[in-house]
Chain A
């Protein structure tokens, strides 16, 4: 019930837009939406406070979603001012629907509803990418909608198998409630559970950006409007993973099965951490750099969820929250940097410290936090993940993930140093560019 109430926030924005879009100017709408979403974020924070001790993660996930949505709404105001060719009314229409789909995923207690909401989030965020309007955005949106939809269809096959196994209950779509699935999972044949787990993990894993299903992610996240990239990277990827976690907890596979949900999460998570960290070195686009960092971070969350204990889920939640706040902020910053420098190319975005000291300090803090530098937030949650892994004797995963995080630190600091200090006078082309812009 409380989740439905939370959903009314974006729905009201949507209908307010439809009924009164001519009554306010675009700037007026920007402020109205940002204030409304902020109020909603405060309401969800107030609501989450009494539930913190109970260990219910749904209100916490909804609160994180609303807080990052509020920051996205405020940044949308600036982003739209920087991109006058984008139609603000249409932007807010899709944005409110996207926000609704995120709350829908976060609050869904039913696997079928979660699937519908994840698919809906693909379409609404895809439409927002199209709104950017250039050729590369079209390409990114096409790949995103196609690959994510195909992945989700795989997930739906698994859901159909589960539903068919429990159809005899004759309780309609409540069959797919997580509580019902958990109460009756032993009535589902072990092979059907294993096949369904494989399909659901791969299907939702596509949406979560787990390697090897991640191919759409760098394109979509780098070409989306920056406030939307923040929501995509900071919220949606994690929500898809928590949906997988809810399913895996509700429908455990038979003991000793190699392809259990936990094993799949750990395997895909480790692969994502490795691929994400290696890819960081060769990135030339500032937003693609952040997108690949998301692949790596989502891999870490998947590893934590794959441990499967209440403590590891709490650690994953902490990682999700910290990554969401840091990554969304960095995406907003990257959007403004690319406007300031008139390019997304990392080799052109240099000398930031002399050019804009305030932005440079904020950017540096964000990138260092993302790199896992203590005492900034992610260092703590990553340490807790490693401690969980160690306690569960997953030494190989510890070794691989530790090496990957070292590479991540090296890659991100390398790019950060170039952004802050690289002397553009040393590069004639960059100097010429700097004079033109200046």
Chain B
């Protein structure tokens, strides 16, 4: 379980570091596969848990990365590249990851955390996702970071509760699937109308 958590953190770091959106798609697919295995192995196998695992793989490992890949394939190569990450983002990311130790120390006496190492991987990945969402400028980077934060949240739930209620897990999958579909479609429309994938261009509405 901890190895899977480490893989999630490594892929979250890779997502933050990589400017190439095609790589990002693969990192995201990796996270989807990791989550699916984690859901499969974190509780005794029942038809319901198997359904959640398969649905996780389908939505987060195949559907969302597939949609992003498919839309990017239609764009010229220069639109598949994000801008360099600003220096402050590295500092912020390092600071936030280091702060996770303090959070674990704070929550230690409450016995809330079942697996401290997994909790560290998950909360660090959530922090990296938040850094990515404010520091990255590509439209699809923001979508990728949203899904990555959501992935890390599922792992956080495993680290404190073993799993989430099935109803909530399936509901989250449906929500994230619809959100990703809408955002991919919007990215395509924005790219078509504005001839850019830079979120800085979205600044007409102010005041």
- Evaluate contact between A189 and B110: CB separation under 8 angstroms: yes
Name the A residues within 8 Å of B111 (CB-CB): 189
- Evaluate contact between B204 and A153: CB separation under 8 angstroms: no
Name the A residues within 8 Å of B160 (CB-CB): 160-161, 164
A175 to B168 alpha-carbon distance, docked (Å): 12
Listed by A's residue number, 7 A-B pairs whose Cβ atoms lie within 8 Å are A126-B182, A130-B186, A141-B186, A143-B202, A163-B164, A173-B166, A191-B107
Mark each residue of chain A from 213 to 256: 1 if its CB lies under 8 Å from any CB of chain B, else 0: 00000110011000000000000000000000000000000000
A276 at the interface (CB under 8 A from B): no
- Evaluate contact between B149 and A173: CB separation under 8 angstroms: no
B44 at the interface (CB under 8 A from A): no
Name the B residues within 8 Å of A426 (CB-CB): none
A138 to B156 alpha-carbon distance, docked (Å): 33
B47 at the interface (CB under 8 A from A): no
A135 at the interface (CB under 8 A from B): yes
- Evaluate contact between B156 and A160: CB separation under 8 angstroms: yes
Residues of chain B touching chain A, judged by Cβ–Cβ distance below 8 Å, are 106-107, 109-112, 114, 126, 130, 133, 139, 142, 146, 149-150, 153, 156-157, 160-162, 164-168, 171-172, 175, 178-179, 182-183, 185-186, 189-190, 193-194, 199, 202-205, 207
A146 to B202 alpha-carbon distance, docked (Å): 13
- Evaluate contact between B146 and A116: CB separation under 8 angstroms: no
Name the B residues within 8 Å of A123 (CB-CB): 175, 178-179, 182
The closest CB in chain A to the CB of B150 belongs to A153
List A156-212 residues whose CB lies under 8 Å from chain B.
156-157, 160-161, 163-165, 167, 172-173, 175-176, 189, 191-192, 195
A119 at the interface (CB under 8 A from B): yes
Smallest distance from the beta carbon of A120 to chain B beta carbons, Å? 6
A219 to B142 alpha-carbon distance, docked (Å): 19
A172-B166 contact in complex given A149-B146, A156-B153, A160-B160, C-beta closer than 8 Å: yes
Name the B residues within 8 Å of A113 (CB-CB): 167, 171
- Evaluate contact between A161 and B165: CB separation under 8 angstroms: no
Instruction: Report, nearest first, the 4 A-B pairs whose CB atoms are least far apart.
Output: A173-B165, A189-B110, A164-B161, A164-B160
A242 to B94 alpha-carbon distance, docked (Å): 38
Query: Is the contact region of chain B dominated by helix, strand, or loop, or is it mixed?
Result: helix
A161-B112, A176-B165 known; 4 other A-B pairs, CB under 8 Å? A112-B167, A116-B172, A126-B182, A130-B189
- Evaluate contact between A160 and B205: CB separation under 8 angstroms: no
Smallest distance from the beta carbon of B200 to chain A beta carbons, Å? 12
Name the B residues within 8 Å of A140 (CB-CB): 205
A81 at the interface (CB under 8 A from B): no
- Evaluate contact between A136 and B165: CB separation under 8 angstroms: no
Name the B residues within 8 Å of A145 (CB-CB): 179, 182-183, 186
A91 to B112 alpha-carbon distance, docked (Å): 45
A119 to B110 alpha-carbon distance, docked (Å): 30
Q: Pick the residue among B182, B194, B205 that contacts A127 (CB under 8 A).
A: B182
A150 to B176 alpha-carbon distance, docked (Å): 12
Name the A residues within 8 Å of B149 (CB-CB): 150, 153
Considering residues A116, A142, A282, which has the most beta carbons from chain B within 10 angstroms of its beta carbon?
A: A142
Name the A residues within 8 Å of B142 (CB-CB): 146
- Evaluate contact between A164 and B112: CB separation under 8 angstroms: yes
A223 to B60 alpha-carbon distance, docked (Å): 31
Query: Is the contact region of chain A dominated by helix, strand, or loop, or is it mixed?
Result: helix
Q: Pick the residue among B157, B178, B186, B207 that contacts A288 (CB under 8 A).
A: B207
A116 to B166 alpha-carbon distance, docked (Å): 13
Name the B residues within 8 Å of A135 (CB-CB): 193-194, 204
Name the B residues within 8 Å of A146 (CB-CB): 133, 142, 146, 183
- Evaluate contact between B153 and A116: CB separation under 8 angstroms: no
A113 to B174 alpha-carbon distance, docked (Å): 13
The closest CB in chain B to the CB of A127 belongs to B182
- Evaluate contact between A282 and B165: CB separation under 8 angstroms: no
Smallest distance from the beta carbon of B188 to chain A beta carbons, Å? 10
A139 at the interface (CB under 8 A from B): yes
A142-B186 contact in complex given A157-B153, A157-B156, C-beta closer than 8 Å: yes
Smallest distance from the beta carbon of B133 to chain A beta carbons, Å? 6
Name the B residues within 8 Å of A355 (CB-CB): none
Smallest distance from the beta carbon of B186 to chain A beta carbons, Å? 6
- Evaluate contact between B107 and A163: CB separation under 8 angstroms: no
Name the A residues within 8 Å of B126 (CB-CB): 157
Q: Pick the residue among A136, A189, A283 that contacts B205 (CB under 8 A).
A: A136
- Evaluate contact between B205 and A150: CB separation under 8 angstroms: no
- Evaluate contact between A160 and B157: CB separation under 8 angstroms: yes
- Evaluate contact between A138 and B167: CB separation under 8 angstroms: no
Mark each residue of chain A from 103 to 137: 1 if its CB lies under 8 Å from any CB of chain B, else 0: 00000000011011001101100110010000110
Name the A residues within 8 Å of B162 (CB-CB): 167
A113 to B175 alpha-carbon distance, docked (Å): 12
A126 to B189 alpha-carbon distance, docked (Å): 14
Name the B residues within 8 Å of A223 (CB-CB): 205
Smallest distance from the beta carbon of A146 to chain B beta carbons, Å? 6
The closest CB in chain B to the CB of A111 belongs to B168
A138-B183 contact in complex given A120-B175, A123-B178, A146-B146, C-beta closer than 8 Å: no
- Evaluate contact between B186 and A192: CB separation under 8 angstroms: no
Name the A residues within 8 Å of B153 (CB-CB): 153, 156-157, 160
- Evaluate contact between A191 and B166: CB separation under 8 angstroms: no
A284 at the interface (CB under 8 A from B): yes
A167 to B207 alpha-carbon distance, docked (Å): 45
A172 to B126 alpha-carbon distance, docked (Å): 25
- Evaluate contact between B168 and A173: CB separation under 8 angstroms: yes
- Evaluate contact between B182 and A130: CB separation under 8 angstroms: yes
